[in-house]
């Protein structure tokens, strides 16, 4: 049994093909931002309150019209059948049992309708060259009962992920982006010096997306709209102005612009820019229940958790991992003297002096 979420990564590495492990673990370039995300969380300190008479904290939260058990959602992550035969269905069902939302990726290896059928879900949208497909995906997500549309805006082109390039990473024949019907062959064709997955996204993703496109999407989308991939407070404010219900402060887990600011470092200015006008979520670097508490204390409404749950998926331990994460959140709240998330947001947040050891 794992004692922390970090325990799942070495277990997964032992059972996964090396190229699949690298596909999940890797970032772009020299992976500076992957490291910055963790270092920034390590640097955050919290000042606990004492003698609060607290015995059982309540970490539930209300977001986008629904109350959940924890201030956590499963991040959108592609091709989960690479890690488990049931892929997205297995992780989504575990999320449902844990009382947290599951975010379906455009590039899921199971059709979105099947995933939405097993768990309360949000749908993550990549902007595609064919606007008819974009429209179709939005309509399918709405018809499937997804509670929100999360459009990712930080991938005009896939970051240069050197591990995948060196591995000539390609999808196996039995795994495909099941929500898309055209141009999937590139993702399966191993070519020296090329990531086949990156080649596929280059053929179907639209690089020249603008705020005007987001305004069109807002007019099309009848469910809450969340914009994922925001780091600059000016962009966050613009998102509010075009009618977004939420933003995700995210550097894509360090997989896009290498050297980008750590998401948790970008959070405060974004929260200040939007005030109470929209929900502010955070991802990239969350590895424990304590990290969840640090993010909420720093102003986030909640967080998205990604890689640690994929490692747990690879060793068939997602229920255990989510239970562990929930226990860590509750323990951290109890130790900090916080009865609920409102109390967490009142904690004093500081920064440790360097060096920071990880």
166 carries a ligand binding annotation:
no
285 carries a ligand binding annotation:
yes
Strand-pair partners of 281: 248, 302
287 carries a ligand binding annotation:
yes
Beta strands 302-305 and 72-74, pairing class = parallel
What is d(CA 212, CA 27) in angstroms, rounded to the nearest whole number?
Answer: 30
What is d(CA 296, CA 351) in angstroms, rounded to the nearest whole number?
Answer: 15
Distances (CA, A) of 208 to 6, 127, 149, 153, 156: 37, 9, 20, 10, 7
65 carries a ligand binding annotation:
no
Beta strands 61-63 and 66-68, pairing class = antiparallel
What is d(CA 44, CA 164) in angstroms, rounded to the nearest whole number?
Answer: 32
Strand-pair partners of 68: 61
- CB of 169 closer than 8 Å to CB of 195: yes
Q: What is the CA radius of gyration of the chain?
A: 19
Strand-pair partners of 349: 46
203 carries a ligand binding annotation:
no
76 carries a ligand binding annotation:
yes
337 carries a ligand binding annotation:
no
DSSP 325-345: HHHHHHHHHHHHT-SBHHHHT
263 carries a ligand binding annotation:
no
4 carries a ligand binding annotation:
no
252 carries a ligand binding annotation:
yes
What is d(CA 19, CA 167) in angstroms, rounded to the nearest whole number?
Answer: 6
284 carries a ligand binding annotation:
yes
Instruction: Tell me, yes or no, if 90 is annotated catalytic.
Output: no
Backbone angles phi, psi at 329, to 5 degrees: -60, -50
Strand-pair partners of 125: 151
Write out the two tokens for 80. 């989960």
What is the DSSP code (8-state) at residue 160?
Answer: -
What is d(CA 295, CA 44) in angstroms, rounded to the nearest whole number?
Answer: 9
Per annotation, catalytic residue among 84, 90, 200, 252: 252
First to last CA, the chain: 22
In angstroms, how far is CA 303 from the centroid of its own chain? 8
161 carries a ligand binding annotation:
yes
250 carries a ligand binding annotation:
yes
228 carries a ligand binding annotation:
yes
351 carries a ligand binding annotation:
no
77 carries a ligand binding annotation:
yes
154 carries a ligand binding annotation:
no
- Binding-site positions for FMN read 76-78, 105, 124, 152, 228, 250, 283-287, 306-307
Q: Which residues are catalytic?
A: 252
- Binding-site positions for glyoxylate read 126, 161, 252, 255
- Binding-site positions read 76-78, 105, 124, 126, 152, 161, 228, 250, 252, 255, 283-287, 306-307
């Amino acid at each position: 049994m794992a004692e922390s979420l970090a325990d799942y990564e070495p277990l997964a590495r032992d059972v996964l093909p090396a190229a699949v492990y690298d596909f999940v673990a890797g970032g772009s370039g020299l992976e500076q931002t992957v490291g910055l995300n963790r270092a920034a969380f390590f640097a955050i300190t919290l000042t606990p309150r004492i003698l609060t008479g607290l015995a059982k904290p309540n970490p539930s939260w209300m977001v986008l019209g629904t109350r959940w058990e924890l201030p956590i959602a499963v991040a959108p992550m592609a091709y989960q059948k690479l890690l488990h035969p049931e892929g997205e269905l297995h992780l989504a069902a575990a999320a449902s049992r844990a009382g947290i939302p599951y975010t379906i990726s455009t590039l899921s290896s199971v059709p979105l309708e099947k995933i939405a059928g097993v768990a309360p879900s949000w749908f993550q949208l990549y902007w595609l060259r064919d606007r008819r497909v974009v429209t179709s995906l939005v309509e399918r997500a709405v018809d499937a009962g997804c509670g929100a549309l999360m459009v990712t805006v930080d991938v005009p082109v896939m970051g240069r992920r050197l591990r995948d390039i060196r591995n000539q990473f390609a999808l196996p024949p039995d795994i495909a982006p099941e929500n898309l019907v055209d141009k999937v062959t590139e993702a399966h064709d191993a070519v020296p010096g090329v990531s086949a997955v990156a080649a596929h996204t280059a053929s179907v993703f639209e690089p020249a997306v603008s705020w005007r496109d987001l305004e069109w999407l807002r007019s099309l989308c009848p469910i809450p709209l969340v914009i994922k991939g925001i780091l600059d407070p000016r962009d966050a404010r613009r998102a509010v102005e075009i009618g977004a219900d939420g933003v995700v402060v995210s550097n894509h887990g360090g997989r896009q612009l290498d050297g980008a600011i750590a998401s948790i470092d970008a959070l405060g200015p974004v929260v200040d820019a939007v005030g109470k006008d929209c929900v502010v979520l955070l991802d990239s670097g969350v590895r424990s229940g304590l990290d969840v508490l640090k993010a909420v204390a720093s102003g986030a409404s909640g967080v998205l958790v990604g890689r640690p749950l994929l490692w747990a998926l690879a060793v068939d331990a997602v229920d255990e991992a989510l239970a562990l994460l929930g226990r860590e959140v509750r323990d951290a709240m109890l130790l900090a003297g916080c009865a609920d998330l409102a109390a967490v947001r009142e904690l004093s947040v500081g920064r440790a002096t360097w060096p920071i050891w990880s």
